[in-house]
Amino acid sequence: MKIVVAYKWASNPQDAAVGADGAVDWNRAKPGISEYDPVAAELARRLADATGSEVIGVTVGAKRIDTPLARKAALSRGIDRAVIVADDALDGAGTTELAAVLAAAVRHIGDVDVVITGDSSVDVGGKMVPTVLAGQLGWPAIAEVTSVSGDAGSIQVVRAVAGGTQTLAVSGPVVLAASTDAAVPRVPGMKDILSAGKKPVEVLDLAALEVPASASTVAVTGTARPDLPARKGIIINTSDPAAAAAELVAALRGAGVL
């Protein structure tokens, strides 16, 4: 069995600054493995260990995603080797474009049985890449996956549904999107980080995959803070405790709290 885990090297929004007009400044945001992708890597590693398989990490983006730090961050999490598609033509690429390149990378690897992704990316959070990727490959997609196991003939998947879980048997290649709590990701130790630097890495560009560069047809035209209702401040004189208590109760009733 050949297992691919798709991960994203993304800026952490916790470090981003939001202006009064809602504009987001990413200049100080530190890049890292997208928040939920280590969960996908952990599921992939467990499946690989149970079936004697290989885990291949795949990431796509602009050339800045390929750094020694980014490589070690991914390869120290149970990934055996990595395929990195780094091309500045992908800078600012949308979901459809990134999924198309991921699909091309999966086809380049060849004979892939399962692709596991995180629930969503930390910077965009659209939850669309798994299904668009599956559509590009012509494979089924299963979301909210909580566990996965397999043997020579099929893959058994458990996913969360309203009110419980559902168990599925998959006999062909499939794209799985892990739920956020599907597994507790391993914390890489010094040995993992050092060995990560020795693992194979293949770096490709769009030309190598024969994927034409295409501009996204969807553009962000603006961002804004959510509209919050104006707060009504009430100051209660506490010199008379009984009167203050009565005024407080009246105010709470007027606000619909009581």
pTM of the model: 0.81
Mean pLDDT for the stretch of residues 222-248: 81
pLDDT confidence of residue 63: 95
Q: How far apart are CA 180 and CA 161, in angstroms?
A: 14
Query: What would the pLDDT profile of 54-83 be if each residue is shown by its tens digit?
Result: 999 999 999 999 999 999 999 999 999 999
Beta bridge partners of 2: 54
Q: What is the reported pLDDT for 111?
A: 94
Superfamily, domain 2-209: HUPs (3.40.50.620)
Alpha helices in 85-184 (DSSP H): 95-109, 129-137
Helix/strand/coil for 27: coil
pLDDT, residue 30, reads 85
* pLDDT for residue 202 is more than 70: yes
In terms of Cα–Cα distance, which of 203, 191, 202 is closest to 76? 191
The listed range with the strongest mean pLDDT (186-190, 201-205, 236-240, 250-254) is 201-205
Name 5's Cβ contacts closer than 8 Å, sequence gap at least 6. 37, 40, 41, 44, 55, 56, 57, 58, 79, 115, 116, 117
> How far is Cα 148 from Cα 117, in angstroms, rounded to an integer?
13
Q: What is the pLDDT of residue 152?
A: 66
